[in-house]
Amino acid sequence: MLSRVADSLYWMSRYLERAEHTARLFNVDYNLRLDNADDTSAARARRLATSLQIPKAQLPESDADDVDHALVFSRANPSSIVSCVIAARENLRNVREQCSSEMWEQLNRLYLKVSATDREQGWVAQIHQFFHAVEEGAHLFQGITDSTMSHGEGWQYIQLGRYVERVDDLAALVAAYYSGDQPFTDQPAEGDEYLEWVGLLKSCTAFEAYCKVYTAEMQPLRVAEFLLLNSEFPHSLRFSVEHVHSALQLVGARTGRKIESASRLTGKLRAALSFASIDEIMAEGPTRYLAGIQRQCVQVDGAVRHLFFDYPVESTLAS
C-alpha cells in the first residue's frame, strides 16, 4: 500500500474519532449545565477545554457561547467538530478506491449534516440532536467499515488511527478530572460531586458498564480504575492500548517493515497499564502518570509515521 494511502486512512480515522469524542463531551456537558450552579458550570467549562487539549490562546476571550462555537463550528480551529469531520472526509476522498461505497456515503452524509448546521440557524434549540448526529454518524461509519471493508492492511491502519487517538483523548480527559492535590478515595460521592463523576463516565460511554461492575455508587478510585485498567471495556485506556499494539503488529506483519522500535513503545504502554494497580497510580499522581501515557502515545504516533508514512526511500530499497 502506498504511504500516502496509509497516511490518509490513518488520519481519516483519527479525525473522526476526535470529532465523536468532542461531540460526546459537549453533549454530556450541556446536560450537566441544567443541574449545576453557574460557578460549577464555569469550572466544568475550563475542564472541558483542558480535556480537549485546546490552548487558551486559541479560545475567544468572550462568553461561553463563543467558546463553544469555537470548539464546535470554527473552521479556524483544526480540532473543532466541523473541522475534524471535514478533514476526515477529505482524507477519505483522496483514497476512495480503498474504501467501500457505503463508507463514503456514510461519511459524506455526516459531512453534509455538520456543514449545514450553524449557530445563526438556531442550532442551540437542536443542540442535542446535533451532537447525537455526530456520535451516531461516527458509530455508523465504524460499523459500516467493519462490515464492508476487507480486514487487510488498510483496515488495520484505520484501527491504528482510531485507537491512537482514543488513548490520547482518554488520557487527557481523565487527567483533567483527577488534577489537583485532593486525595481520591473509594468513598461514595454525593450531590454535585456525584453528578461530576457520572459526567466523566458518560463522557466515556462508560456509566452503565461501570454500574454493572461497581454498582451506581460513584467512588472516584473505582471510576479511575475502571477507565484506566479495565481490559474489556472499549473506552478504557488499557483496552485501547491493547488494540494499538495489536494493529501495529498486524500492519508490520503485512508490510514486512521492521517495527521493533515502535513495538517496544507500545509494549511499554501495555506494561504500564497491564501490571499497574490503581493504588500505585494514585500514589505516583494520576496527572503525572497520565502525562507519561500521553508522551508515550506521541512517541508511538511519531514511530508509526516514520515507519509507514514518512520513511526515506533508501530504507525501503535496503529492505
Q: Of the candidates 10, 30, 4, which has an alpha carbon nearest to the alpha carbon of residue 301? A: 10
Q: Of the candidates 206, 272, 201, 260, which has an alpha carbon nearest to the alpha carbon of residue 233? A: 206
- At residue 63, the pLDDT reads 57
Please answer whether residues 296 and 269 qualify as being in contact, where contact means their C-beta atoms are separated by less than 8 angstroms.
yes
Share of the chain above pLDDT 90, in %: 64
- Is the pLDDT assigned to residue 66 strictly greater than 70? no
Residue 314: pLDDT band with limits 50, 70, 90: very low
Mean pLDDT of 182-194: 83
- At residue 317, the pLDDT reads 44
Mean pLDDT of 146-165: 96
Q: Of the candidates 255, 201, 243, 251, which has an alpha carbon nearest to the alpha carbon of residue 225? A: 201
Give residue-wise pLDDT tens across range 4-27.
Answer: 999 999 999 999 999 999 999 999
Q: What is the mean pLDDT of the chain?
A: 88
Lowest mean pLDDT among 188-192, 242-246, 261-265: 188-192
- At residue 54, the pLDDT reads 76
More confident residue, 276 or 118: 276
- At residue 2, the pLDDT reads 82
Supply φ then ψ for residue 129, to 5 degrees. -65, -40
Any residues with CB less than 8 A from the CB of 233 and at least 6 apart, and which?
A: 206, 209, 226, 239
Give residue-wise pLDDT tens across range 107-124.
Answer: 999 999 998 876 555 566
Phi-psi region of 205 (alpha: psi -120 to 50; beta: other; left: phi over 0): left
Name the residue type at position 69.
Answer: H
Share of the chain above pLDDT 70, in %: 87
More confident residue, 319 or 250: 250
Cell of 109: 452524509
- At residue 316, the pLDDT reads 47
pTM of the model: 0.91
- At residue 62, the pLDDT reads 55
More confident residue, 159 or 48: 159
| 3-state percent breakdown (helix, strand, coil) of the chain, nearest 5 | 75, 0, 25
- At residue 319, the pLDDT reads 45
Cell 449545514 belongs to which residue?
116
- At residue 33, the pLDDT reads 78
Q: Which long-range contacts (CB under 8 A, 24 or more apart) does 105-109 make?
A: 106/137, 106/140, 106/141, 106/144, 107/16, 107/137, 107/141, 109/137
Residue 135: pLDDT band with limits 50, 70, 90: very high
Any residues with CB less than 8 A from the CB of 83 and at least 6 apart, and which?
A: 74, 75, 77
Give residue-wise pLDDT tens across range 191-245.
Answer: 888 988 999 999 999 999 999 999 889 999 999 999 999 999 999 999 999 999 9
- Is the pLDDT assigned to residue 258 strictly greater than 70? yes
Query: Of the segments 48-62, 120-134, 160-174, which one has the largest average pLDDT value?
Result: 160-174
Query: Would you give the DSSP letter of residue 126?
Result: G
Residue 178, CA distances (Å) to 72, 131, 300 in order: 25, 26, 24
